[in-house]
Structure 1
């Protein structure tokens, strides 16, 4: 329940702390006193966007804070808090705070949160109804949720939701694969050509450097051959001369051994020169390149450069492109078997959805007549003595996220008139009472702790107003209920009665909220009955019992 509501600088309220209590809470006051500030504050707590015009004149910011004490739906709220990265409730207490002015801030359990998160949390805390705010009752999805709550179908509904999600995931995967499967034969041919072209080239990562070196050699082969031949001829003559010199040196050493030191490097120099001559001869033989081989090198280089222009700047990139294209082809070639697997997956998931839907539909079919009968009983209490209320099922062509059927709450307020869906009923007075009847029928299943009825009795009076008050009191025995009302029949049945008044002090207008009891409460009821006087005061005291 809502334990405390704090409001500061909202409209005519300067500073208010409201300790509510449990049961049916009646809020009354003259028109324009400021009763709407309660609804305005609660809407801010529920995540409605802040209107800066609501800030009290002369102030720069407004603050609204609510403290909820939770029990039945505590686990659900905590799960939602964790999902949004917020602190869990401590000692069953949830604290929501809104501040707006120069900036907008909202906090849940002292942690900042988004408006979207606040709205989702608020939906678990407060069910607010005004004279023209019955959208939740008109929604077919909401009607289906009400039927499921009444039927106690939470387990079956969750089983269906899980099966439906698996089926939808399988369908999505199948559709995505189908989209990729629409690849054209032309694209397949292109991929195969690319793979064949790169593969046929037989690329080797390091061959480019070797080819370029051989190509440079072949381009300058004539100059290289001339210079090499001259060098070889000269070295050959030198080697012959060195041979003659070697015989002379041997003879010198035989005659004068002391000369050995002076000619120590001759032998090694002669050997090195002979090696250089031999290396140049081999080099010369390698330089004798066949013209056809030169053309072959040129073609190979052109082939590699063409592949690089198409598929990458280096041989490594070209080979990587080939691998990617080959993998793409492999996946396309195996698409028929993959499609078969996905079809089977979708089929199996659909069978499970249908099975879960049958179980959910069965429990709904069983509960619908009972709920309709109970709502009709509450409608009779609210003055619709000859009305008819039914719940109609519509089988869907395909299973939806909430089951295999949709529902419509049908209502016929007058004999002889056809039943119509609630969403086409124009009278707000009728809708208010229908909503109250539905809420009464679901009172034991509804887990939302606080219900707020903002002048839903505006279009009723007399005996019907008394019946509306009794229904609210009935709901107040099971929930915390705030009834903002102009009807004394409703206010008299409240477990707690609060009066909103407007005071003017030094050119400043303030709205005040205070609890009225005993004589003060009787005086307020008398005012609501038409003005304080002996007769109205006596009637008010009689209404209070």
Structure 2
């Protein structure tokens, strides 16, 4: 419920602080007194777009703050979704700065207008002529029927399944669209994959292969160089072996003359041994030199294939070729398994359609069960509201289509008078009739679901006498389970309120100001008497006012 409202520097309001009670609250005032200003300020709190022209003093910011008691509204989940701290006393504040910039806060946390609207629609419902037009929309008519049908939980489940169904259906369509493209590429990808698979890339050492090629390709030069090296080492008298032996002999003669000479001898001896080993290795290398032209051709061919693949795929390493091979294999496998994937997806969708059909059938059955109840209640209430011949015909038809709220289409038809024909509300109901139908629907809904606080803005326009008394009784009854406001010009309705406020204008220092006053019992008698007989209150008007209040 709306606990309090604070407005500062808005339109004709300097500053206004007002606390509200639960139950039935009446707001009255002369035409032009500023009731629309009060509604405008409240609408800003609920997410309406701000306008710089609404600031009274252009040098100061406009602030509108509302406190709501939401303990019974089960809104913790919504607060979590909006990433807001939950508090049973929730404070919503709007600020319009002199620059024209607008800011919104929920429990002192800055929020966007979208978040504000998402929350506010659960807090208070301002019923205006615009909202009455909702009655003509299928979506709102379904909401009413589903409330009576108790479809809330099954609709949540259906909506969740429908989201999954649409996602899978989209994936299936993408698979089917990609199939033709993949098939076009399949042959080429398969050719590339076979080309890469013919080489053992996983065990290929390109550096070693290149070394083998160089060795085979230059075998004569290598043989000649090895022979030259052997001659240098082993030539008689001038060879390295003989020269080292001569050095060793000279050092042997002086090795006993000092430790340093003995060390040199040991090093020369070690060199001599290494040289002998080198000579043996040279002989082995020379003996093992291969001159196989077939092997050379084979290695050369392999290197050419690899280099061609490097060039074709614009890469420079075997690792990159391996990665390309993996990607190609995945594409080829996907294409080869595409039919299986499509079939599997179709199976998932078929299963989901069956589940959706079961849920939609349950929704349809419960709607058809609730429809006669809604018609009976509507016609009974409207009869009390001066429309004894009002008749409704509601037809719900199941289709093959999956809509957001089931598979049904709806015909919500109305006939106001005997002898006329059924037609849509838009075509067959007048503005006054639409207001009474909306009041009847709100009254019925309040029996089935927890509605937010509701403010009826002159819903009684165009009615009087006993009809207005009945309308007041309906709103009074609704206020037993929810907070109800009524902005009214009718004394019969005003007298039924638990709390009564009057909007009035006051001229001060050559400026007009709008204010709001809570009326005591004596004030209420005067106010209702003026609503009955005008500004000059007669004794009979006072007596009539007291009678209405009692």
Fold equivalence (TM over 0.5): yes
Distance 1:429 1:538, change over 3 A: same
| Deviation (angstroms), 1:267 | 4.7
Distance 1:275 1:544, change over 3 A: same
Task: Say whether 1:9 aligns with 2:17.
Answer: no
Q: In structure 2, what is the equivalent of residue 498 of structure 1? A: 501
Q: In structure 2, what is the equivalent of residue 24 of structure 1? A: 24
| Deviation (angstroms), 1:303 | 1.9
Q: In structure 1, what is the equivalent of residue 277 of structure 2? A: 275
What is the rounded CA distance, in whole Å, between the counterparts of 2:125 and 2:244 in structure 1?
Answer: 119
Q: In structure 1, what is the equivalent of residue 405 of structure 2? A: 402
Distance 1:251 1:315, change over 3 A: closer
What is the rounded CA distance, in whole Å, between the counterparts of 1:408 and 1:367 in structure 2?
Answer: 15
Deviations 1:219-250 (A, max 9, x none): 76665555444333333314786777899999
| Deviation (angstroms), 1:108 | 2.0
Q: In structure 1, what is the equivalent of residue 86 of structure 2? A: 88
SS of the residue corresponding to residue 477 of structure 1 reads coil
Is contact 1:425-1:431 (8 Å) kept? Answer: no
What is the rounded CA distance, in whole Å, between the counterparts of 1:220 and 1:194 in structure 2?
Answer: 34
Q: In structure 2, what is the equivalent of residue 97 of structure 1? A: 93
Count of equivalent residues: 541
Is contact 1:143-1:408 (8 Å) kept? Answer: no
Name the stretch that deviates more: 4-13 or 368-377: 4-13
What is the rounded CA distance, in whole Å, between the counterparts of 1:291 and 1:25 in structure 2?
Answer: 108
Q: Extract unaligned runs of 5+ from structure 2.
A: none
Q: In structure 2, what is the equivalent of residue 539 of structure 1? A: 544
SS of the residue corresponding to residue 344 of structure 1 reads helix
Distance 1:427 1:238, change over 3 A: farther
Q: In structure 2, what is the equivalent of residue 34 of structure 1? A: 34
The 5 A counterparts of 1:361-440 are 361-425=364-428, 427-440=430-443
Q: 1:160 aligns with which of 158, 161, 165?
A: 158
Is contact 2:390-2:414 (8 Å) kept? Answer: yes
Q: In structure 1, what is the equivalent of residue 130 of structure 2? A: 132
Task: Say whether 1:187 aligns with 2:185.
Answer: yes
Is contact 1:391-1:410 (8 Å) kept? Answer: yes
Q: Extract unaligned runs of 5+ from structure 1.
A: none
SS of the residue corresponding to residue 399 of structure 1 reads strand
Task: Say whether 1:108 aligns with 2:106.
Answer: yes
SS of the residue corresponding to residue 305 of structure 2 reads helix
Q: In structure 2, what is the equivalent of residue 465 of structure 1? A: 468
What is the rounded CA distance, in whole Å, between the counterparts of 2:424 and 2:85 in structure 1?
Answer: 42
What is the rounded CA distance, in whole Å, between the counterparts of 2:443 and 2:267 in structure 1?
Answer: 121
| Deviation (angstroms), 1:286 | 6.4
Is contact 1:9-1:59 (8 Å) kept? Answer: no
SS of the residue corresponding to residue 15 of structure 2 reads strand
Distance 1:263 1:396, change over 3 A: closer
Distance 1:333 1:31, change over 3 A: same
Q: In structure 1, what is the equivalent of residue 451 of structure 2? A: 448
Distance 1:50 1:205, change over 3 A: farther
SS of the residue corresponding to residue 132 of structure 1 reads helix
| Deviation (angstroms), 1:287 | 6.4
SS of the residue corresponding to residue 478 of structure 1 reads coil
Q: In structure 2, what is the equivalent of residue 52 of structure 1? A: 52
TM-score w.r.t. the length of structure 1 is 0.88
| Deviation (angstroms), 1:465 | 3.1
| Deviation (angstroms), 1:432 | 0.8
What is the rounded CA distance, in whole Å, between the counterparts of 1:246 and 1:517 in structure 2?
Answer: 131
**RMSD of aligned alpha carbons:** 3.3
Deviations 1:177-220 (A, max 9, x none): 33443444331112211211111122256622223445555676
